[in-house]
Amino acid sequence: MIQTVMLLKNQKELFDIPDDITYLNIAAQSPAFKAIYEAGLEGLKQKSRPYTIVGSDYFEPVVELKKLFAKLIDVDDHNRIATIPSVSYGIATVAKNITLLAGDEILVIDKQFPSNYYSWKNLADQYNATIKTISPLNGEQWDDAILKAITDKTAVVAMGHIHWSNGNLFDLKSISKKTKQHNALLIIDGSQSVGALPFSVEEIQPDALICAGYKWLFGPYGSAYAYFGEHFDNGKPLEENWSNRLNSENFSTLTKYQPKYKPLANRYSVGESGNFIYVKMQIEALKQIIEWTPKAIQEYCKSISTEASRQLIDLGCQIEHPNYRTHHLFGIKLPEGLNIEKLKIALQKQQIFVSFRGQFIRISCHLFNTKKDFEKLVNCIKSVI
């Protein structure tokens, strides 16, 4: 049975973005919508009245948050979710629980975001293993190159769901199948996709999924999420904190030191994960994303950007074919000879916010954007050309 997706209407009224601002840079930092702002205020009020805080406040909201994220990524058991402060924290946790052999290979994508590289470089150096980098190709060839690179030497494949700088979409389902054939681990950075693009752990079966929370998941800066599969069920966390131990809800027995962790991924959550302000904001953010649905968000972004993409190509820009990229985030290679500094000045004057990556600009949009935002962008680039 074919499911249809209802096209969402523009949601700008939920955000505090002035009409003269064209914000096409959510991939760098998301704006908060009003429900998140109000939730943060409630957290501040709770902090200002600490005598109202009870023991369950440290735990029950975190469980709710984990259940919401588990629902978003199609995971049955919220105990497989850890709340963490950053992608680097999650990747370092994963790397700490992997043992390699000399000559093993860790496969990464060229120009991968640093938070999903440095821990792998350290791990490779520790075991005299090798970092194998798949260099950039066009979208149609990326997946073939990755699949061919996975061999019996491959111990880990660490990559994004999409490329963070240009939105190139990777066939994770096929890549996951190949990693399992060679007993390699698949570690996914979902920071630039989860929340705006459908992602199913049940379908893709990664060994771990790490996501920054302050981009497409609309959380505050300093929030992130991690899913840990069976390989990590009995691993060692980066830190030892009281709340991750079994029966830590019973404050009266905290100094009867508990050798056992809470089940599965709970051991990997950061200390003070019950942050009253952050958790309240994250809960409201995830509730809204689940209501919108990532698929509907993707379709909305496609509807407002398709015509502008055609016009930019006509102007001499290069954009990856829609079959091989996402619509909430994509790269535009500017025409040769275009004065980048002049374009930056023009964009600044018109208050159009994008990210520059050399001769590329990265566009990232959401439900607060409209076709008019893209028309404004096209006209600005046209004026410089």
Tokens (6 digits) for 115: 């938070």
In this prediction, residue 22 carries a pLDDT of 98
Q: What are the backbone angles phi and psi of residue 159, rounded to the nearest 5°?
A: -160, 175
Tokens (6 digits) for 124: 């490779």
In this prediction, residue 206 carries a pLDDT of 98
Kindly report the length of the chain.
Answer: 385
**How far lies 10's CA from each of 22, 157, 275, 368, in Å?**
14, 38, 32, 6
Cα gap 71→282, rounded to integer Å: 14
Give the tens place of pLDDT for each residue, 104-122.
999 999 989 999 999 999 9
Q: What are the backbone angles phi and psi of residue 27, rounded to the nearest 5°?
A: -65, -20
In this prediction, residue 36 carries a pLDDT of 96
In this prediction, residue 140 carries a pLDDT of 72
Quickly list DSSP for 140-200: HHHHHHHHHH--TTEEEEEEESB-TTT-BBP-HHHHHHHHHHTT-EEEEE-TTTBTTB---
**How far lies 340's CA from each of 164, 165, 337, 353, in Å?**
21, 17, 9, 14
In this prediction, residue 4 carries a pLDDT of 54
Query: C-alpha 50: how far from its chain's center?
Result: 33
In this prediction, residue 358 carries a pLDDT of 72
In this prediction, residue 165 carries a pLDDT of 87
In this prediction, residue 2 carries a pLDDT of 44
In this prediction, residue 259 carries a pLDDT of 94
One-letter amino acid at 311 equals: Q
Q: Contact 209/131 with Cβ under 8 angstroms? A: no
Q: CB within 8 A of 366, min separation 6: which ones?
A: 26, 30, 196, 216, 297, 301, 328
Cα gap 118→92, rounded to integer Å: 9
In this prediction, residue 337 carries a pLDDT of 87
In this prediction, residue 185 carries a pLDDT of 98
In this prediction, residue 274 carries a pLDDT of 92
Give the tens place of pLDDT for each residue, 181-232.
999 999 999 999 999 999 999 999 999 999 999 999 999 999 999 999 999 9
One-letter amino acid at 180 equals: K
- Please name each of the domains of the chain with its CATH number: 12-32+293-384 (3.90.1150.10), 38-291 (3.40.640.10)
One-letter amino acid at 319 equals: I
One-letter amino acid at 361 equals: I
Per-residue pLDDT of the chain (385 residues; tens, 9 = 90+): 344 556 899 999 999 999 999 999 999 999 999 999 999 999 999 989 999 999 999 999 999 999 999 999 999 999 999 999 999 999 999 999 999 999 999 999 998 999 999 999 999 999 999 999 998 766 678 899 999 999 999 999 999 999 988 899 999 999 999 999 999 999 999 999 999 999 999 999 999 999 999 999 999 999 999 999 999 999 999 999 999 999 999 988 989 999 999 999 999 999 999 999 999 999 999 999 999 999 999 999 999 999 999 999 999 999 999 999 999 999 999 998 899 999 999 999 999 999 998 778 999 999 999 999 999 999 999 999 8
